[in-house]
Amino acid sequence: MKAAVYREHSKDPRQVVKIEDIDTPKPKANEVLIKVEAASYNYNDLWGIWGEPIKIPMPHISGSDIAGTVVEVGENVTTNIKVGDRVASHPNLTCRVCYECTSGREYDCISRKVWGFQTGPLWGGFAQYTHLPEVNVVKLPDNVSFTDAAAICMVGMTAWHMLVTRAKIRPGQTVLIMGGGSGMGIAGIQIAKLFNCDVIATAGNKDKMDKCLELGADHAVNHREADWYKKVRDITNRQGVDIIYEHIGKTVFPQEVGLLKMGGTLVSTGATTGYDSAIDLRYLFFRGTNLLGATQGTKAGLEEVIRWVSKGRIKPVIDTILPFGNMVEGHVKMADSQLFGKIVTTPQRL
């Protein structure tokens, strides 16, 4: 089979990511073999290629977001998943037996690994075939395309986990979605609107702000302007917001904390602009602020997202679909913040 393999690290993906012919994997016990029809890109793919901030198994196949068809099942796979099923990946590999896993918090499992990033050698989604534990695939309704599924899995599951599981979003709340033009932001806006919330989205330019409004955001603010947080406060009639959906980090974090209502909740899943932030701790104790962290999510959360995609209420947004032979351009394009939506490649089409 063909796979996008790299055998050394580089800041320039074009230098190291090559389409190679390698052996098609066999499913282990409890695993299924999937013919990959669509695979989407995430920032962890770039971290893998760069070789930082953490070491990863080499040689490496990246890709944590795929959809395709089950073509073989290993021993001990239950009757739930069969050959011919259309499925998408749930990229959290966890032990499923520890206290955290069995209490429904698989995302807190101490042995959790992100498939396609921390796994290998040669075990990820940018390949014509891949294998996954049965518990790490979700079935796709017929009306959800492979490209849409690949585009929504990771960001949809993470956004669902942040807003629903962690921040416990309720109808009618005011929700500030930071970075609304990113893959994470697009999913966050749509989930907050599912709950009929008032959504203020931020973006880095006018074009992305307009697209956030088209997706359903009620207001859009440019977070690159120095007084962005004053604009948010004015939109709320100086009341502040109930929930902040955060993944930008240092450049906005201190101002965000001051935008929360009494008892409000900030949920963070990343820090693209830097992690060594400072806040005025008086906001934390005096205002009863909830500062929450979130990483990825649960398989159940992913199934909820896929159900809403099937109903047409969450619409995956795809920026570009690349033939597999040209897939490395996706890595290059991802570093470009002018994207709106996900990049997807199609391993069966070179």
Residues within the interface to Zn ion (CB under 5 A): 94-95, 98, 101, 109
Nearer to Zn ion, 105 or 250 (CB): 105
- The four Cα atoms 249, 154, 157, 188 give a dihedral, to 10 degrees, of 50
Nearer to Zn ion, 108 or 218 (CB): 108
Q: How far is the CB of 107 from Zn ion (least distance, A)?
A: 10
Q: How far is the CB of 46 from Zn ion (least distance, A)?
A: 27
∠ Cα 146 149 150 (to 5°): 85
Q: How far is the CB of 98 from Zn ion (least distance, A)?
A: 3
Nearer to Zn ion, 118 or 345 (CB): 118
Q: How far is CA 52 from the centre of its chain?
A: 19
Nearer to Zn ion, 94 or 158 (CB): 94
Nearer to Zn ion, 251 or 295 (CB): 295
Q: How far is the CB of 95 from Zn ion (least distance, A)?
A: 3
Nearer to Zn ion, 22 or 98 (CB): 98
Residue 221 is classified by DSSP as E
How are strands ordered across the β-sheet holding 260-268? 219-222, 198-203, 174-177, 241-246, 260-268, 290-293
Q: How far is the CB of 92 from Zn ion (least distance, A)?
A: 10
Q: How far is the CB of 94 from Zn ion (least distance, A)?
A: 5
Residue 158 near residue 134, CB atoms below 8 Å: no
CA distances to 69, 183, 239, 241, 249 from 252, in Å = 42, 18, 19, 15, 6
CA distances to 102, 160, 163, 209 from 167, in Å = 21, 10, 5, 24
